[in-house]
Amino acid sequence: MRVLLLGGGGREHALALGLAADPAVEELIAAPGNPGIATVARLRQVQPTDPASVAALAAEVRADLVVVGPEAPLVAGVADAVRARGIPCFGPSGAAARIEGSKAFAKDVMAAAGVPTARARAVQNPGSGVGAALVAQALDEFGPPYVVKDDGLAAGKGVVVTGDRSAAIEHAAGCGRVVVEEYLAGPEVSLLVVTDGEAALPLLPAQDFKRVGDGDTGPNTGGMGAYAPLPWLPPGTVDEVMAAVVRPTLAELRHRGTPFAGLLYVGLAITSHGPRVIEFNARFGDPETQVVLPLLETPLAGLLHAAATGTLAGHPPLRWRSGAAVTVVVASAGYPGTPRTGDVITGAERTGIVQAGTARRDPDGALVSAGGRVLSGTGLGADLDAARTAAYELVAGIGLPDSHHRSDIAALAAAGRLAAPVRTAPPAH
């Protein structure tokens, strides 16, 4: 199989390692890739959000499978263009990717499908007049902590969760359209589900760390670390999410004539009333992919090809390695604000280091930082404690001036100090 992988971040480096390890893959091409991906793939340049260019590249390299990593190309319709050429593509159509591209659309699908999620109000032009009044009304209806989300794609940084009502209003005023939500209390879970639109296979549940600072402090980021599996997750939770969330959502999207085939990322809070959806994404999570894929024993390209060709129902059950994985993200000075780039990185060429925002400098070819989340160290171990130790050893070996990382990734779970809230019956409607 010849596989074209679209994207060039940490998630794609993890995908590239998984794809390259599948004996069915004869050649891996990545566009645009990054220096880490270049160790296992041939790199090509392409405008990732231009459907025609990606489809042309897929045809030129005679790809048997295209795997789309990031959301922007999916929302732009890249998967539609690739499939129109008769090439199997792992990734939803532009219409189905709206489940991530528009939070209001996702809420509408969830309401129609009866999926448990936070109550929410979408408000147009929240900065003035009627819009501002509706925002204030929604904030007061749901009460603090306030949750205000920019409706469009924002790389995980469009959401503000705050006890400060004026900060909530200020964030809303800066958006064209917002969703104001009820706050969901409880630990978060990311469930990545491989689907062909009908059949669906959940990957191991993972948890990521969205805030920049230890103890979940500071602003939201694209994700500062992750671990899997989740020893504290009540048994049966994944089955419950498949039955209450994933199958009804896939059925609703089929019913609308826009079936979702690809990776449905379900972001959940485990509340006292059970799992509630925080968000959907239309692609692999980053950095969850960096911990889930190293634990997957089943060959990755075969799995994604089955999803891309509507044959997932006939795919064997997934096999997993025992033990746990932890990944710790190393970020540039300034991230999640404007990151400093161009700093020389040392120690990155080791097994377990997944590169994200890196580049080769001209003319000396030195590895330099080129984005906010520069790389992550993924450690594997018999349990979370051992995996944490391995991940932090990798990170300690990285040289990047003024970089920062969280020191508490997976710490509570490894210490057995994380628990789902005691389950109580939801209030009657």
Segment near ligand GLY (CB under 6 A); pick from 127-135, 233-241, 256-264, 285-293: 285-293
For ligand GLY, which residue of 286, 295, 388, 400 counts as binding (CB under 6 A)? 286
Structure tokens at 270: 């485990």
380 DSSP β-pair partners: 325
For ligand GLY, which residue of 77, 91, 116, 223 counts as binding (CB under 6 A)? 223
Q: Between 94-101 and 103-113, two packed helices, what is the crossing angle to 10 degrees?
A: 100
> Which string of b and e fits 299-330 if b means at least 16 CB within 10 Å?
bbbbbbbbbbeeebeebeeeeeeeebbbbbbb
Where do the H-state alpha helices sit in 102-246? Answer: 103-113, 129-142, 165-173, 237-241
The verdict on 102 binding ligand AMP (CB under 6 A) reads no
Which one, 154 or 173, has the nearer CB to ligand GLY? 154
392 binds, among ligand AMP, ligand GLY, none (CB under 5 to 8 A by kind): none
Give 368's Cβ-side CA count (13 Å radius). 13
Q: Which of residues 135-194 bind ligand AMP (CB under 6 A)?
A: 147, 149, 156, 159, 161, 181, 183-184, 188
Element spanning 7, H or E: strand 2-7
Q: Which of residues 288-307 bind ligand GLY (CB under 6 A)?
A: 288
Least Cβ distance, residue 267 to ligand GLY (angstroms): 7
Which one, 237 or 403, has the nearer CB to ligand AMP? 237
Which one, 156 or 381, has the nearer CB to ligand AMP? 156
Phi and psi angles of residue 248, each rounded to the nearest 5 degrees, phi first: -60, -35
Least Cβ distance, residue 417 to ligand GLY (angstroms): 22
Structure tokens at 217: 């402090």
Residue 83's SS3 state is helix
Least Cβ distance, residue 156 to ligand GLY (angstroms): 5
286 binds, among ligand GLY, ligand AMP, none (CB under 5 to 8 A by kind): ligand GLY
Phi and psi angles of residue 399, each rounded to the nearest 5 degrees, phi first: -105, 120
Binding mask 149-178 for ligand GLY (x = CB under 6 A): -------x----------------------
Element spanning 120, H or E: strand 120-124
- Going by DSSP bridges, is the β-strand pair 27-32/2-7 parallel, antiparallel, or unpaired? parallel
288 binds, among ligand GLY, ligand AMP, none (CB under 5 to 8 A by kind): ligand GLY
Structure tokens at 1: 């199989």
**Residues in contact with ligand AMP by the rule CB under 6 A:** 118, 147, 149, 156, 159, 161, 181, 183-184, 188, 210, 220, 267, 269, 278-279
Q: Which residues bind ligand GLY (CB under 6 A)?
A: 156, 208, 223, 281, 285-286, 288
